[in-house]
Structure formats: structure tokens, C-alpha cells
Amino acid sequence: MDATVPFMSTYLDHAASTPPRPAARTALSTWLEAANGSASHLDGQRARGAVEAAREQLAGALNCSPHEVVFTSGGTEADNLAVKGIVWASRQRTGRVPHIVTTAVEHPAVSEPVRWLVERGDATATVVDPGPDGRVAVEVVLDAVRDDTALVSVMTANNELGAVQDIPTLGTALRQRGVRLHTDAVQAMAWLDVDVDAWQVDALALSAHKFGGPQGVGVAVLRRGLPVEPLSHGGGQDRAVRSGTFATGLVAACGVALAEAVADRPALRARVGALADRLAAGLITLDGVRRNGPTDPAHRLPNIVHLSIDGIASDALALELDRAGVAASGGAACGSGAAAASPVLAAAGIEGTPLRLSLGWTSTDADVDRALEVLHDVIPRLRAGRLSPGRLNAGGPGRLNAGRLRAEVAR
Ligand code: PLP
């Protein structure tokens, strides 16, 4: 394995991280050497100018006020800030233990803070199950809302199945009832017309490395007037809700990446959607291979093909894909390195060995051709118990990684 080269595979794991767009690379390198954006001298003001320009770009792309855009270290921090911050602020205001409504398909960046709050006695929670396609019914979420509900957190689109939730309907209904709505739009942003104002959400989380920006930067949209308790305290940057020196280069790259992703979104949706559908159509012709998630394209992300494969072990499949130089994901588990079944797939009642193939802005017809070739070879061969002939390995990078076999990471 060449540890100095980031991408050598037929890369079908864009839902985990998609390569940065050229404009994002340029912005990152331009502003990497920035002064502290809070300093009053001219260099500080220049850095601050870059941060505020990015804030404007994000607000424009999201249809909210620049004042409502808070920069974070990524999607995980943005989700934690919204969930803990809103719950703690509510508790402080009312003196009551707040109730949260959430779903069984949330990313750990939401489900873990909820679990932690409940364990500490800082909140109670109701977790709503999805249907077999990973979508939750709006009425079921609304039925779970109680007088003491301070927060509803439902993701816009799921990272494993690509299931899209009806956030606009939920937002309208909850606004009428005066209940706060947070949505994790990390997977959705590159593909769906996310609109903070029209959807009537109170808080929303993004991560730049899912839409062509760099890793290590994200956004929490916190709407004007929303009480949020900060997670960390310090210099009071970003409305004192997220203290810390502005990461000028990362923030600038995040802004241009999102502006470009939004401009490119309709064309990308069509191009990548067609590639993903060709991939799925070519794989479900194999015996014992099913596509999971919503069947209506309006209800699923265009770039995710989630499959259940009968009769093969997930470790063996991962090893063979690595040998053939195809980067894909087993679907989920946990970030700690321990093997774990996906709670999302369990909640949706999905069986079989999971395989998530996710496409992105750099995906090509050749990627789809290669994945079809490899999977049509590997799946029957694994079922027949004939392992590792090495035939498809010839041009592959040979990046075998035993750790990966035990440790799929929820992304
Ligand atoms: N939420 C969802 C739906 C995700 O897919 C991810 C990414 O893995 C996250 C949150 C966390 O984002 P980050 O990796 O930027 O912390």
C-alpha cells in the first residue's frame, strides 16, 4: 500500500468522504497561512473577510441568514451542538427534563448524544422506527411529540440506505406546535435542494467532506432566536456558541465547495443518478442480490446503491473487493474498531450481507463497469467457496487491510 496516495481504488465510497473539488483545494491552500480572523490588524481583517465570504456563500446556498451559520469541525460536532445545546438550553429555561423525539435511523452523531443525555438524566427520548425502506412516517413522529418535547431530530437523508425523510412536512407541522426541529443534512446536501427557511427547521448540520470540501469542517445552522447552550467556552467567536480561532482555510474551502456543489447539483443528480441506477440494475440480476431503501427515486438519494447479498460472509466480500481495488462500504458499524451490526439495518428489518456502493462527483462509467465486472466475478466465486484466484487483482492496488475487515466505520 502506498500511504502517500489518497485514492487509488475504483472509488465507490463517496458517502463516507468525497474528494475535494478543485476550487476547494485552491481556497484551502490560499487561506492556509491566514492570520487570526479575530485579530484587529489588516491581516486579521483579511482572514476575517475570507471567513465572512464563506458564511455568505453558505447562507446563500442554504437560504438562511449569514448570522445563523456557525462553523464547526464537522458533522459530528454540528449534530452534538444542536442536540445537546438545544436540550440543555431548554432544561435551563424550563427547569424540566426535556423530551427528545428521534429515529432509529440516525447517524451516531445524533443517536449517541441522545443516548448520552438520557443516560445522564438530562433528557428522556422516544425513538421512532422506520419502515422497511428506512423512511419514518411523519404521523408517527408527530404522535411521539409530548407536552415536554423540546426537540425533534430527524435526519434529512440516511447514510446507509439513502432514505430521504419528509422534512418539509415535518417542519411545518412542528412549527405549528412550537416544537424545535433539528435535521442532520450531512448526506443530503450534495443531492437535495436543502432550504432551511422553506423547510422551517430550527437547526441543521452539514459536513464539508460530503459535498466536495475538505475533511475537518462543518456547519451548524442555528436559527435566529434559538436558545443553544455552547459545548465549549472560550473566546466567544461565532455568537459565543462555538468559541475557537476560525479555521480560515477550511472555512473558505467549505464555502466555495458548497457554492459549486449547489450550482452543479441538478446536473450531478441526473448524471450520477443514471450511473447508480445502471450499477444497481446490473447487480440485481445476480441471484440473491437485492437493492434496499426506497424504490421511489424521489424518496432516496441518487448516489447510494445499498444491497443485501445472500450466502456470503461480509469479511470475505470486503477482502475480495480490496484485492480487486474496489473501495466500498459494508454499510455501517461503529467507529471504535469493534465489529457491530448496523442498528439502522436492524431497525428496517434488512437481512443479508450489506454492501453500500456510493457514487459522487468524480464517478465515471468506467467505475460502474469495473464494479460490475468485479462483483459478477466475486459473488458467485465466494458462494462456491473458491477464494482468491487473483485474476481480478492484476491491476489492483493490493491494499489489503486486515483491520478494515473487523472495523467498518459508520459514516
Ligand atoms: N451525519 C451523517 C448522516 C453522516 O453520514 C456523517 C458522516 O460520517 C456524519 C453525520 C458525521 O460527519 P463528520 O464525519 O463530518 O463528523
pLDDT 10s digits, 19-55: 999 999 999 999 999 999 999 999 999 999 999 999 9
Q: Which pLDDT value is given to residue 3?
A: 67
Q: Among 277, 283, 272, which residue's Cα sits nearest to residue 373?
A: 283
Q: Helices (DSSP H) in 284-399: which residue ranges?
A: 314-324, 343-347, 365-383
Q: Which pLDDT value is given to residue 39?
A: 95
The 8-class DSSP code of residue 156 comes to S
Choosing from 334, 340, 372, 409, the catalytic residue is 334
DSSP string, 246-286: --HHHHHHHHHHHHHHHHHHHHHHHHHHHHHHHHHHHHTTS
Q: Which pLDDT value is given to residue 394?
A: 39
Distance 164 CA to ligand 1 centre (A): 16
Task: Indicate the top mutation candidate among 103, 155, 358, 411 to test ligand 1's pocket, ranked by most ligand atoms within 8 A of CB.
Answer: 411
The 8-class DSSP code of residue 213 comes to S
Distance 242 CA to ligand 1 centre (A): 19
Q: Among 336, 308, 350, which residue's Cα sits nearest to residue 410?
A: 336
Nearest CA to ligand 1 atom 9: 75
Any idea of the CA torsion for 362, 206, 301, 16, to the nearest 10 degrees? 50
What is the torsional sign of CA 276, 277, 278, 279? Answer: positive
Q: Which pLDDT value is given to residue 330?
A: 87
Report how far apart, in Å, the C-alpha atoms of 400 and of each of 324, 355, 386 are: 10, 18, 18
> Strand pairing of 218-222 and 69-72?
antiparallel
254 is catalytic: no
Q: Which pLDDT value is given to residue 251?
A: 98
Q: Which helix (H) or strand (E) holds 134?
A: none
Distance 381 CA to ligand 1 centre (A): 34
Lowest-confidence range among 232-236, 259-263, 291-295, 393-397? Answer: 393-397
Nearest CA to ligand 1 atom 7: 411
Q: Which pLDDT value is given to residue 271?
A: 98
Q: Which pLDDT value is given to residue 341?
A: 83
Does the pLDDT at position 18 exceed 50?
Answer: yes
Report how far apart, in Å, the C-alpha atoms of 302 and of each of 61, 97, 279, 379 are: 20, 40, 12, 24
Lowest-confidence range among 94-108, 138-152, 290-304, 386-400? Answer: 386-400
Nearest CA to ligand 1 atom 10: 75
Distance 18 CA to ligand 1 centre (A): 12
Look-up of cell digits 465572512: 52
Q: Which atom of ligand 1 is nearest to the CA of 209?
A: 15
Average pLDDT over residues 264-284: 98
Q: Which pLDDT value is given to residue 325?
A: 96
Ligand 1 lining (C-beta closer than 6 Å): 74-76, 79, 107, 109, 155, 159, 184, 186-187, 207, 218, 411
pLDDT digits (tens, 9 = 90+) for 319-349: 999 999 999 998 543 344 444 689 999 999 9
174 and 151 Cβ atoms separated by less than 8 Å? no
Q: Which pLDDT value is given to residue 144?
A: 98
Does the pLDDT at position 126 exceed 90?
Answer: yes
Q: Which pLDDT value is given to residue 387?
A: 62
Average pLDDT over residues 68-84: 98
Nearest CA to ligand 1 atom 8: 411
Lowest-confidence range among 121-135, 142-156, 200-214, 323-337? Answer: 323-337
Task: Indicate the top mutation candidate among 156, 207, 258 to test ligand 1's pocket, ranked by most ligand atoms within 8 A of CB.
Answer: 207
| Radius of gyration of the chain from its Cα atoms, rounded to whole angstroms | 22
Does the pLDDT at position 395 exceed 60?
Answer: no
Q: How confident is the model at residue 231 (pLDDT cuts 50, 70, 90)?
A: very high
Q: What percent of the chain has pLDDT over 70?
A: 90
Q: Which pLDDT value is given to residue 28?
A: 98
How far is the C-alpha of 203 from the C-alpha of 228, rounded, in Å? 10
